[in-house]
Amino acid sequence: MLAGSGAAATAALLLVFCLYLYRFAIERTPKSFMRSDPNMPQVEEKIIREVREWFRAQPFEDVTIRSHDGLALQGRYLEAKCPTENAVILAHGYSGRGEDMAVFARFYHEQGFRVLMPDNRGHGRSDGHYIGFGWHDRHDYVRWIEYMVRRIGERAKLVLHGVSMGGGIVLMTSGEPLPPQVRCIVSDCAYTSVKAILKYQLRQIFKLPAFPLLPLTSLVCKCRAGYFFGEGSAIRQLRNNKLPILLIHGDSDTFVPTSMAAELFEAIRGPKDQWIVPGAQHATSFLTDRQKYESTVLNFVQKYISAPAQPAEAQHLRAWPE
């Protein structure tokens, strides 16, 4: 009797903690731990202020699309200074919003690109009650790609560039059937899979093993958000990708371990390049060596923007939902 009561109490505690983990990591709630996590470097206030001033001075246009599951997804669009078919879609990180990518928006805009900065589902001004970690977001970014092709025209030349979770998003998107207008992808400090990064963070933050907490929380996630952690794999998606990909990762990244970059690089089937940035912590490669970051990205992007479009798998742009 006592043994049975003890087992029931243990099971109840496990369930309560798994519900807490879901709320902590997946549910749309303030992620205050991101500001205090020692593995998440904080950007200098001077840099934040400078980028914010640039952002506020630009004539961004608010744009909205509808996701495949009915969410209103918000983004900000910035026209190029001169007519061009070149454009970049920027994917932000965990608990962030589109304008967090303003430093990259400024870089691409200075190179003559049109810029789109979406707010991911469950973030910023977009609808959604959970964080997709790239798995459900991949469908959203296919929609954003379709939006840009419609806006620019069939001659559009698109770059996908994501940082942190945004890097995971663009890699997971790469495995979907994409139109030939998508020319290349830049992924900065991405993780290999949802399961792998949550397992790593469970150990880092809570000093706890993955089993049985991660499988049980994954079940909660499936019930509440519609996906198991094991489904969201950038590695698997890369096996379906043929687009050129540039991977960037800091060699001092302890939030998304640098070892994940090696796994991702090995999984890429198409043209690929990699830059491991000396001394860079998580999501700080641009700030650590801005000059080389800009030249590395620009050389890579220009190579594929200038090349003839490669035939894509058969895909028709869907009628746009009102």
Q: What is the pLDDT of residues 20-41, one digit of tens each?
A: 999 999 999 999 888 777 787 7
Of 122, 172, 115, 164, whose CA–CA distance to 142 is shortest? 172
Please name the residues in contact with 258: beta carbons below 8 A apart, sequence gap of 6 or more: 249, 250, 251, 252, 276
Average pLDDT over residues 259-271: 98
Higher pLDDT, 7 or 318: 7
pLDDT value at residue 171: 99
Q: What is the pLDDT of residues 195-224, one digit of tens each?
A: 999 999 999 999 999 999 999 999 999 999
Could you tell me the strand order of the sheet in which 182-188 lies?
Answer: 61-66, 72-78, 114-118, 86-91, 157-163, 182-188, 245-250, 272-277
Please name the residues in contact with 180: beta carbons below 8 A apart, sequence gap of 6 or more: 309, 310, 311, 312
Distance, in Å, from the CA atom of 144 to the CA atom of 160, rounded to the nearest integer, reads 11
Q: Which residues pair with 91 in a beta bridge?
A: 162
pLDDT value at residue 320: 41
pLDDT value at residue 45: 79
Domains of the chain: residue spans and CATH: 58-193+232-306 (3.40.50.1820)
pLDDT value at residue 321: 39
CB 96, CB 123: distance < 8 Å:
yes
Buried b (16+ CB within 10 A) or exposed e, 199-233: bbbbeeeeeeebeebbebbbebbeeebebebebbb
Of 80, 26, 49, 56, whose CA–CA distance to 224 is shortest? 26
Please name the residues in contact with 89: beta carbons below 8 A apart, sequence gap of 6 or more: 116, 118, 141, 144, 145, 148, 158, 159, 160, 161
- Say yes or no to pLDDT of 4 above 70: no
Distance, in Å, from the CA atom of 61 to the CA atom of 156, rounded to the nearest integer, reads 19
pLDDT value at residue 311: 62
Average pLDDT over residues 4-16: 82
pTM: 0.93
**Band of pLDDT at residue 314, cut at 50, 70 and 90:** very low
pLDDT value at residue 315: 44
- Say yes or no to pLDDT of 84 above 50: yes
Mean pLDDT of the chain: 94
Distance, in Å, from the CA atom of 124 to the CA atom of 116, rounded to the nearest integer, reads 15
